[in-house]
Amino acid sequence: MIPADFDYDLPPSRIAQRPCRPRDAARLLRLPLAPGESPRHELVAALPAGLRPGDLLVVNDTRVIPGRLRGWKAATGGRIEILILEEDAPRRFRALARGLGRAPIGTKLSFAAGGKARGDALSAEIVARAGDATLILAFEGPGAEDPTWLGEMPIPPYIRGGRADERDVDDYQTCFAERPGAVAAPTAGLHFTPRLLGDLEARGVRRARVTLHVGWGTFEALPEEVDLSRARLHAEHFEVTQDAALAVNAARAEGRRVIAVGTTTARVLESAASPEGRIAPGAGTTDLFIRPGHRFRALDGLLTNFHLPRSSLLVLVCALAGRERVLAAYREAVRRGYRLYSYGDAMLVL
């Protein structure tokens, strides 16, 4: 398997630039796992009617940090942009950078709201490199303990060129986001509203939470000729609480369906599952790459968005439902005018 096996044609006009309002007005393509059944087309708001009382939805409660900072090189004034990934030590942060090239250790940077030079700018210095694209920055000045106070939501570049605005502060966050640490949203969760959650509860659908702090590596394009049978993803931190483990294990023991909301949740469940499908509570990192041939141990279905061609996320969906069926469903979604990617419509594989 190579990435080209997971390709499809997508007109740029089908890439959603804003979410639906309300969020649960997005379209939903139901792709049955049972062979011979055809896809069905409805709205996310109709999700409760298609689920059973006792079904367990597992969501990712990570919270996106506003980690995109715009600034300039202190020596030259050249424009730069960084994406804060995580804290390395007090006032030191790992970050991806654009506009810096191979700037040497000791290079001074400045940041301010909107990336415009001003007197109260926050300063930083490159103190180390942690790979080809990742820097360690030491911050100084007001708010250096948490420089994301100056940041923007890190929406993907295919949404308005990556230029976030005030609407994205809420739009690019799920309604159950609690634990800061993600650099990208678990986008399947963006479709939920308080009304939809209430309708699901009234239907008898249960809910559990896990955490996976979505890292930038999840969305990186796969190398063109990589053998997917040997590929791994960048490690991401996850946590499964005792309550979540009990909820999933009870559902499986009682024959109730476990449905992951998003590929990030699916990776948590499969990373934490024993060969028998029992979930263990705990925290750690996972670089699990789910691809065709994977035996799913902890979930029965998946609610997900429509993903980029040749991406690990699309590969995961194909592992669950079959490559040909998923790609055929994607082609049908494009023909029917579905909106794709982070702010787009949804698919339920069940």
**Per-residue pLDDT reduced to its tens digit, 30-88:** 999 998 899 999 999 999 999 999 999 999 999 999 999 999 998 888 899 999 988 89
pLDDT score, position 115: 61
Whole-Å CA distances, 304 to 34, 217, 307: 18, 18, 9
Instruction: Say if residue 265's pLDDT is above 70.
Output: yes
Q: Which CATH architecture has domain 3-64+169-349?
A: 3-Layer(aba) Sandwich (3.40)
The tokens of 204 are what? 């008898």
Superfamily name and number for 68-150 = QueA-like (2.40.10.240)
The mean-pLDDT minimum among 83-92, 107-116, 229-238 falls in 107-116
**CA-based radius of gyration for the chain:** 21
Calculate the average pLDDT of the chain. 93
Write down the pLDDT at residue 108.
94
pTM for the structure as a whole = 0.92
Question: Token pair of 271, please?
Answer: 């990373």
Comma-separated ranges of CATH 3.40.1780.10 domains in the chain: 3-64+169-349
pLDDT of 132 above 70: no
Q: Is 174 exposed, middle or buried (0-12, 13-18, 19+ CB in 10 A)?
A: buried
Residues of the chain with CATH 2.40.10.240: 68-150
DSSP lists the bridge partners of residue 184 as: none
Alpha-carbon dihedral sign for residues 330, 313, 282, 191: negative
Instruction: Please state the separation of Cα 215 from the chain's center in Å.
Output: 8
Per-residue pLDDT averaged across 235-246, rounded? 96
d(CA 186, CA 228): 23
Q: 115, 79 in Cβ contact below 8 A?
A: yes
